A and B are shown apart, each in its own frame.
Chain A
Amino acid sequence: MNPELETDIKEFGLFVEKAVRAVRVPMQRKKRMRDELINHMHEVFVEVKADSEISRTEAISRTIDRMGDLKELTNEFRSEETLYNRSYLLLEELRYDPAKSMKWFLVKHFLIGFGLGFFVAGLILLLVFLKPNPLGVVGSIYVGLLTSVVHVLFVVPFLLLLDPITRYVNNLRGKPSRLRVISYLFAASLVLPSIAIAINYQFTSPLKFEHIVLGLVMAPALPLILLLASKPAAEEIIYCEKWANLEID
């Protein structure tokens, strides 16, 4: 990064972060607020510095003064805390944050998994009730259960493994050891085959050879998805950590 810009971020970043951190909106929305405020402050700073023969410190102080009262600005940004933004933020909070409790993450996702299962089963049962179909009551409960299992066995491992794999691949702070990453990828490679075999076994007992082949073909899928997702995830980790590391209190 341009060293001059880095200096600006340090000087104006505190102001921006104080105004924005408490606002409960999704990350992309917050990024827009930060970007626009920082850009604005930089341009004002250049203008102030060019117009008067004042020191750099004085120019920074005048730039900050022109932005107005911090608390007022935060309150104005809070009008962005709409139902849509709050709901989106809830979705963002479903991700695994290594700084927070793993137990809470697992409990949350088990509850979501079973909630989803109940919802899907209920919906199908309702359809069965309205118009009987071959799936029947038992089939509806089975599909609901399957939804829960897919969430717990696929979504949870993906969210859990994305952070350490991203840190390792992109050489970020707190990256795990190579051995650990290999074991993570191996564990990830077992996820989809297990689901595929479980589904096929239930529907077409006994287990056939082609189901095992299907499982083996699907083995690299989750590790590949994780590796592909690690680049955009790294950009997000770097961005979030840069702002989170600013001590505003």
Chain B
Amino acid sequence: MEKINGDKLRGHLETMVLSCLEESESHGVEIIARLDKAGCGLLKLKEGSLYPALYRLEAAGCVVVARLEQPESGRGAKRRIYKITQKGKRQLAKGRLEWTEFVHTLGSIIGAPA
């Protein structure tokens, strides 16, 4: 099956990140790993874009930095562990609803023979 690249994921990244964080708080690399696992390796994310997305979510009050943690390697700056907020949970529910409507609408157009 063809991989789903970053362009096709545009506009959905924030909801996907919130969905990951709903499971448990996490840092950037782990969020990518979870998305990759959930997408059975078919998602080809532009990993750099994760951080602007996290900053947008943070500015909107949907996620917060729960704590700082030293990476296992013990090198470099401490990494930030992000946590979903109540507002983020509401945003996620809204995102899921929009996604369902989107799939339903497009499914009825693309899925059905003309």
Contact = CB atoms under 8 A, between A and B. Distances in A.
**A and B are interacting partners:** yes
A40 B28 contact: yes
Contacts of B49: 68, 72-73, 76
A77 B71 contact: no
Interface stretch (A41-49, A102-110, A150-158, A184-192): A41-49
Given A39-B79, A67-B47, A80 B73 contact: no
Interface in B1-36: 6, 28-29
Interface core residue of A2, A40, A82 (most chain B CB under 10 Å): A40
Nearest to B6: A68
A141 interface: no
B55 A80 contact: yes
Interface string A81-92: 010000000000
Nearest to B72: A43
A158 B72 CA distance: 42
A2 B73 CA distance: 12
Given A36-B51, A36-B80, A80-B52, A42 B75 contact: yes
Contacts of A37: 48, 51
B114 interface: no
Interface in B28-85: 28-29, 45-53, 55-56, 59, 71, 73, 75-77, 79-80
A137 interface: no
Nearest to B74: A2
B59 A68 contact: no
A67 B46 contact: yes
Contact of B52 (A40, A44, A77, A82): A77
Contacts of B51: 33, 36-37, 40, 77
Interface SS majority for chain A: helix
Given A36-B51, A37-B51, A38-B76, A43 B46 contact: no
Mostly helix, strand, loop or mixed at chain B's interface? helix
Interface residues of A, number: 27
A73 to B, nearest CB: 4
Contacts of A5: 75-76
Contact of A38 (B55, B56, B77, B80): B77
A39 B47 contact: no
Contacts of A44: 29, 47
Contact of A73 (B29, B48, B79): B48
B109 to A, nearest CB: 29
B76 A42 contact: yes
A117 B92 CA distance: 50
A19 interface: yes
B56 A35 contact: no
Given A2-B75, A33-B51, A35-B77, 5 more contacts: A5-B76, A40-B48, A42-B75, A68-B46, A68-B48
Interface of A: 2, 4-5, 19, 32-33, 35-40, 42-44, 46, 66-69, 72-73, 76-77, 79-80, 82
